[in-house]
A = this chain, B = another copy of it.
Amino acid sequence: MITFVQVLDFIGTFAFAISGIRLASAKRFDWFGAYVVGFVTAIGGGTMRDVLLDVTPVWMTDPMYLLCTAFSLFWVIAFSKYLIHLNNTFFIFDTIGLALFTVVGFEKAITLGHPFWVAIIMGSMTGAAGGMLRDVFINEVPLIFRKEIYAMACVIGGLSYWICMLMELEAYQCQIICGVVVFLARTLSVKYNICLPVLKGE
């Protein structure tokens, strides 16, 4: 039986893979290269987390991530003309993925007995590091360091997870609150154009 979290996980993976594949297509990668970039965007953050936590990366035990990336590639090839009209939909999907991946990463680190600050980093890494690896691969300065609130939303979500834990809420309550906070932090910051200050160069 497929659970609600699995559906969200599929949506998040799909959105992340699509974002990698579209940027790869802008650089004129071939199908294989686009598949690899899409896959790395989707699973790169979780893989970095699992290597640091010394557990087996999720995509090595469940072929869903490979299949979902293949589905995303097919989708981009088949519907490339219409994708630009779907930018708002992708933004929602991408933010769902960001929120879910943050919750998953935070929870995994806490379950393995790590302190809260490690869990916040692991949550943010799961959410945001795939996009960073994508940008390194396509040879661009990572967007997450320059644009609107993105990885910062994961940090805020992780902090709220921790506060919920201090208040001794149930695990599922912590998770929902964390996910909602990430989603809201990202969508509101984009809607009201809230940015972090830029460091002044010397």
Q: Which residues in A have some Cβ–Cβ distance to B below 8 Å? A: 21-22, 24-34, 36-37, 47, 51-52, 54, 56-57, 60, 63, 66, 76-77, 80-81, 83-84, 114-115, 117-118, 132, 136-142, 144-146, 151-152, 155, 195-202
Bound CA span A31–B28, Å: 32
Instruction: List 3 A-B pairs, minimum CB-CB distance, nearest first.
Output: A33-B145, A25-B199, A30-B196
The 18 listed contacts between A and B (C-beta, < 8 Å) are A22-B202, A24-B199, A25-B200, A26-B201, A30-B146, A30-B195, A30-B198, A31-B198, A33-B142, A33-B145, A51-B51, A51-B52, A52-B57, A60-B114, A76-B199, A137-B141, A137-B145, A139-B139
A80 lies within 8 A of B117 (CB): no
Extra contacts besides A25-B202, A137-B145 (8): CB < 8 Å = A25-B199, A27-B145, A28-B198, A34-B199, A47-B52, A52-B57, A54-B54, A138-B141
Does B114 contact A152, Cβ atoms closer than 8 Å? no
Picked from B22, B28, B76, B199, the residue with its CB within 8 Å of the CB of A146 is B28
